[in-house]
């Protein structure tokens, strides 16, 4: 099983490189390297930079996967926990997301004129919604989740906070997905950021109120 997971992770990291290699011959000598809130390119570079994003995302994927897959060995909060399967699933999920993100941005770079925000924001919404499904199952640790003074100090507070956060992130992610498909430019960005703030603020405030009331 471990070998299978390593092969899957390796393939997910390689796929964006393969796509970049595929589109490279058709690229102009200068390609976009950054997009503004309207989805228009506002920075440019040589066509060889098409490989830069897959390299960055690939390295990030590898580090993220190794960190979460070995959480029990490096996190004292997890030292006494024996079931790490949830963290391995989460690690694989993050690698899938980073690979998809790399593909979307590379696609937008190779197809100038496309409104990249209408691909990017729905993808990010799916990520938050999917990550929300993990929230209620994430055990107390120092690396993933709402790592607040009150959640790290009290396991009951951690569990209650993440149970609420899971529901909010799934709903918020679904709204981000839909708004990303419907809205454009700064409206899409504004809705996305508003929902992110809401998804972070509500569980944080809820956790603090539990702490202040001495409920958990």
CA dihedral 15, 17, 20, 21 (to 10 degrees): -110
pTM for this predicted structure:
0.81
Could you tell me the two tokens for 14?
Answer: 């390689």
Residue 109's Cβ-count burial label (10 Å; 0-12, 13-18, 19+) is buried
Give the bridge partners for 43, in sequence order: 34
Task: Evaluate if residue 40 carries a pLDDT over 80.
Answer: no
Give the bridge partners for 32, in sequence order: 44
Q: Where are the domains of the chain?
A: 1-114, 116-216
Stated as kind and residue range, the H or E segment containing 64 is helix 52-69
pLDDT tens figures, 10-32? 899 999 999 999 988 888 887 77
For residues 69 and 143, give the distance between their C-alpha atoms in angstroms, rounded to a whole number: 12
Say what the pLDDT of residue 184 is: 79
């Amino acid at each position: 099983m471990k070998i299978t997971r390593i092969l899957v992770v390796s393939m997910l990291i390689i796929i964006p490189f393969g796509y970049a290699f595929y589109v490279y011959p058709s690229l102009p000598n200068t390609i976009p390297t950054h997009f503004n809130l309207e989805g228009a390119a506002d920075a440019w570079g040589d066509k060889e930079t098409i490989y830069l994003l897959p390299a960055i995302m690939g390295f990030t994927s590898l580090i993220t996967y190794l960190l979460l897959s070995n959480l029990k060995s490096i996190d004292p909060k997890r030292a006494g926990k024996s079931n790490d399967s949830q963290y391995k699933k989460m690690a694989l999920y993050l690698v899938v997301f980073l690979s998809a993100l790399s593909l979307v941005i590379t696609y937008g770079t190779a197809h100038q004129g496309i409104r990249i925000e209408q691909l990017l924001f729905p993808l990010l919404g799916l990520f938050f919604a999917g990550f929300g499904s993990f929230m209620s199952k994430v055990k107390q640790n120092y690396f993933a989740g709402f790592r607040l003074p009150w959640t790290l100090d009290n396991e009951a507070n951690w569990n209650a906070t993440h149970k609420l956060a899971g529901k909010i992130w799934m709903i918020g992610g679904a709204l981000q997905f839909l708004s990303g498909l419907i809205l454009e430019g700064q409206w899409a960005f504004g809705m996305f950021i508003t929902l992110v703030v809401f998804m972070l603020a509500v569980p944080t405030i809820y956790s603090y109120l539990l702490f202040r009331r001495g409920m958990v």
